[in-house]
Structure 1
Amino acid sequence: MPYVRSALALLLGLNIGLLSGQAATVPLVDRLARPSPVSGSIADSAFTDIQARDGRLLIVGEGGRVLLRAADGSQVQADVPVDLLLTAVHFVDAQHGWVVGHDGVVLHSADGGHTWSRQLDGVSINRIMQSWAESEVARLEAAQAADPDDEALAEALDSAIFALDDIRSGGEAGPSHPLLDVWFRSDREGWVVGAYGTILHTRDGGSSWALVPGLDNPERLHLNAVLGLADGSLLVAGEGGRLYRSEDSGGHWQPASQLADASLYHLLQLRDGRLLALGFGGVLLSSLDQGRSWEALEVPVRVSLYGGSQLADGSLLLAGHGGVLLYSRDGRAFRVWRGERRGAWMGAVEADAGTVALIGSHGLRILPLDELEGQLQ
């Protein structure tokens, strides 16, 4: 399987799973076996995702780095067993959380993010995918033998054989399958999504994983974001503006909706139930009916949007390219804040009363909210 650059890697100037300059010298498997190096200036690292939970900030990014920031402002680097680009973090409670990244890695913490263990990697994903594809070929061969004149079955079998050959070929390249997002409903059930249409599901807290079939994604477009809703629906968004929706936690999938021509990078649910989808070139969409229908929102600048959150007072803060943040009090009319540095902001959350935490290609910045509001355009 050929290597690609994920959206996050491109934004941060990183190769897929490698910092620039390392690709020619470091075998892929070494990154999965080598712990993340300790950094004395970890707050200056390139970061890709942030979550505020129980008064703490949990931040992930390049080189396997996980930064924990306590409510009093103290910071500590977590013990992480891999040295590769981490792309997303999700904690379901104060103790249990998961991180995903390149080379198909899934990490789990049961102590609030201080230490992590590897649950899954690209080598295991290759085996899972090959086993599923072999089962599909066998099933379709049996069905065609029973009905040899069914042209649809013959076409499906040809596609399954092609997919199996592609998976076997990809496995020879090593632990690929970059994972780009993670969401858990509880400390037992969760999903991860990533490049080439990868989506996996666990029911036992990550001890075992199964491939999720049924998405309307024959082109194997990259899946960038996954979000579960309170009614049991599951949403997945990705390349080409595609949105995939399941009303039974991924058991069955509706036909894909193309919400935009540009890729979608992030899904966000507000406290009133409204959903937002953020994407390339300033794409911002809103849904009032659990993702069944969407409307486009106007934004004042056409910069790609990668993350964001709702603050305690109900206002919205969206993080974007070129050092841009979008701020809105009502979730519909947005104003612009521009940082002095023009790198990408990948996420923005409320750090504590009166401050927000921004993360991206230039590291972590804590910004007073009144300063941000005073500089809005």
Structure 2
Amino acid sequence: MNVLFLQTTAARVVALGLTLGGLLAANVQAAPAAEADLRAAVQAAHPERAVLQAVARAGQRLVAVGERGLALYSDDQGKNWQQAQVPVSVTLTALHFPTASQGWAVGHFGTVLHSSDGGKSWQRQLDGKRAAALALADVAARAKAAPAGDATLAKALANAQRLVADGPDKPFLDVHFFDARRGLIVGAYGLIFATSDGGQHWQSLAGQLDNPQAHHLYSIAVGGGAIYLAGEQGLAFRGEMNGGSFLRLSTPYQGSYFTAQADDNGNVLLAGLRGNVYRSGDRGSSWQSVALPAPVSVVASSRSSKGMLLLANQAGQLLASRDMGQTIRPLATPPLPPLTGVLQLDDGQLVVTSLRGVLRP
């Protein structure tokens, strides 16, 4: 994995030194990196104190994922946690449950995991080798059908061949399932795949994106019949739920957007590096800058069932908005470690993931 990726994802995928510290705190022994995608996650004495990357709801249950294949679940609103059975030891970066029982998690080494029991156990559906092979097959098919000398396709083919040659080291960084069958995953170097059968088969959608430099894709947001993708160097796309290619959106910022949110009224919010936040009220056709209290990278976001927008940053600060980003205010919380995920429960209680585990601030 190249140095650029490690640098640009430092806000979302924790630095090695902090990761090691989190593992020691959780009493987890690290598996050799070369075998992480082949070894089951080690049972930890205190997995709730480990480095965790994201938290989501599975019906009334909470599920969190993080370093070394850790997946946890809680049936008491995050007060107590149990470790799930996971077949890999790779970092898990994101998860989504479209139903109370059916959920998907993604992570490093091109890993896609599926749970059919609300996050208590997980099975692998996709790995980096298969993902790279699928990406190469997709580009090769498009190149075969295109006129000779297409420079864009030639570059895409070279990138796909490099993915295969590099081996299964490229991470997926976000996942969204529209229901128990149709889902989308995105990741480093422009990786994007879709499934229509619950993850049994995956198809590369890279040909639908105007992303010739294969920039990283960090986040998926869905709202108002549209799908929004956010990535590095100001990259943003809008696709329609009924299919077709993604339209590349012009945004004011040329840095990385680590997280995105959208509602059913055409409002979209992108947030990322150094606290840069932009919102649109017209499905991404125009954008306005949103001021934050400090220029700290925003690394995670969520929307509650009551419409509250929450942002979490690297300084351990939580911010909230009731008008989809038109006004954003900091929340009064105790000092928190660098955050990686945030969720608001129906009773207003907040649950966050961080470099020091899962917390209820």
Give aligned-pair identity as a percent: 32
Give the SS at the match of 1:113.
coil
Whole-angstrom CA distance in 2 between matches of 1:9 and 1:70: 31
- Structure 1 position 5 matched with structure 2 position 6: yes
How far residue 7 of structure 1 moved from its aligned partner, in angstroms, is 4.8
2:268 — aligned with what? 275
Amino acid at match of 1:251: G
Pairs within 5 Å for 1:337-376: 337=331, 343-351=337-345, 353-367=347-361
Q: Is the 8 A contact 1:320 1:346 kept in 2?
A: yes
CA contact (8 A) 2:52 2:354 kept: yes
Which blocks of at least 5 consecutive residues in structure 1 are unaligned? 145-153, 368-377
For residue 265 of structure 1, give the secondary structure of its aligned residue in structure 2. strand
- Which range moves more in the overlay, 202-211 or 130-139? 130-139
* Aligned pairs for 1:116-131 within 5 A: 116-131=122-137
Question: Which residue does the alignment assign to 1:218?
Answer: 212
TM normalised by structure 2 equals: 0.87
3-state DSSP of counterpart to 1:180: strand
Determine the structure 1 residue equivalent to 2:179.
186
Q: Report whether the alignment pairs 1:44 with 2:49.
A: yes
> In 2 relative to 1, CA 274–26 (structure 1 residues): closer, same or farther, beyond 3 Å?
same
Say if 1:209 and 1:340 are closer, same or farther in 2 by CA, change over 3 A. Answer: same
For 1:80, what is the secondary structure of its paired residue?
coil
Deviation at 1:261, TM superposition (A): 2.1
Alignment check: 8 A CA contact 1:2 1:170 kept:
no
Alpha-carbon distance in structure 2 between the residues aligned to 1:133 and 1:179: 19
Distance 2:288 2:333 in 1: 29
Residue 196 to residue 220, structure 1, CA distance change in 2 (3 Å): same
In 2, Cα distance between equivalents of 1:248 and 1:354: 31
Tell me, yes or no, if the aligned pair for 1:58 and 1:66 is still in contact at 8 Å.
yes
* The 10-residue stretch of structure 1 (294-303 or 107-116) with the greater mean CA deviation from structure 2: 294-303
Question: By how many angstroms is 1:275 displaced?
Answer: 2.7
The alignment yields a C-alpha RMSD, in angstroms, of 2.8
In structure 2, stretches of 5+ residues that fail to align are 24-29
C-alpha distance in 2, partners of 1:312/1:122?
34
TM-score, L = length of structure 1: 0.84
Question: Mean Cα displacement is larger for which, 237-246 or 266-275?
Answer: 266-275
Q: 1:308 to 1:174 in 2, by over 3 A?
A: same
Deviation at 1:286?
A: 2.1
SS, match of residue 68 in structure 2:
helix
Question: Cα offset for 1:335?
Answer: 3.0
Q: 1:166 to 1:327 in 2, by over 3 A?
A: closer
Contact 1:349–1:357 (8 Å) recurs in 2: yes
Partner of 2:62: 57
- Select 1:245's aligned residue among 225, 234, 238: 238
Instruction: Note the C-alpha offset of 1:6.
Output: 6.8
Structure 2 counterpart SS, 1:103:
coil
Residue type of the partner of 1:110? S
| Contact kept in structure 2, 1:48 and 1:347, CA below 8 Å | yes
Greater Rg, structure 1 or structure 2?
1
* Counterpart-to-counterpart distance in 2, 1:82 and 1:342: 29
Letter in 2 for 1:206: G
- Measured after TM superposition, the shift of residue 248 of structure 1 is 4.8
State how 1:184-333 maps to structure 2 within 5 Å.
184-212=177-205, 213-231=207-225, 233-270=226-263, 274-311=267-304, 314-330=307-323, 331-333=325-327
1:95 deviation in Å? 0.6
Alignment-derived partner of residue 174 in structure 1: 167
Letter in 2 for 1:197: G
